[in-house]
């Protein structure tokens, strides 16, 4: 079974842990020390929050400037209401808004930047609203 580990540099590890704890995420202490912690998103999806010094051990070059967007971390939600709850909470506890809400067809998406400037998209896809096209058969 595959697992996904997204690695993100943070300026203040304890502040980042507090922020994401407020959003309802838990942490796997197996991979935790004073330079890193492992946030559990789902059973096989994790975000490693690494101090900038520790993050530099894994990269060549510089950490992306906070004014650039190096990655969009997108997570799903079970409903538009869950999207709103998570993003509203993120904004209450230190996140900042990023882009306007997208409510288009089957997708409802809101975004925020965490205290380190990483962009998070929280989205709900209502698959019942997807337009399906019949597959053309060859004669």
Predicted confidence band of residue 59 (pLDDT cuts 50, 70, 90):
very high
Describe the strand order of the beta sheet including 4-10 as a list of residue ranges.
4-10, 45-51, 36-42, 26-33
Distance CA 21, CA 26 (A): 6
Contact 10, 51 (CB under 8 A): yes
Token couple for 64: 């992306």
pLDDT of residue 70: 84
pTM: 0.86
Domains of the chain: 1-63 (3.10.180.10), 65-128 (3.10.180.10)
Question: What confidence tens digit (pLDDT) does each residue in 4-40 have?
Answer: 999 999 999 999 999 999 999 999 999 899 999 999 9
Flag whether pLDDT at 139 surpasses 70: no
Q: What are phi and psi of 16, to 5 degrees?
A: -65, -40
């Amino acid at each position: 079974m595959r697992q996904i580990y997204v690695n993100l540099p943070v300026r203040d590890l304890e502040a980042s842990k507090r922020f994401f704890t407020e959003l309802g995420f838990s942490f796997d202490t197996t991979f935790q020390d004073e330079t890193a912690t492992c946030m559990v998103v789902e059973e096989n999806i994790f975000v490693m929050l690494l101090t900038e010094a520790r993050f530099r051990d894994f990269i060549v070059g510089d950490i992306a400037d906070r004014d650039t967007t190096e990655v969009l971390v997108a997570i799903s939600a079970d409903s538009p209401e869950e999207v709103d709850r998570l993003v509203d909470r993120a904004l209450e506890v230190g996140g900042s808004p990023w882009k306007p809400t997208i409510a288009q067809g089957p997708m409802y998406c809101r975004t925020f930047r965490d205290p380190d400037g990483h962009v998070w998209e929280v989205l709900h896809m209502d698959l019942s609203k997807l337009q399906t096209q019949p597959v053309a058969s060859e004669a």
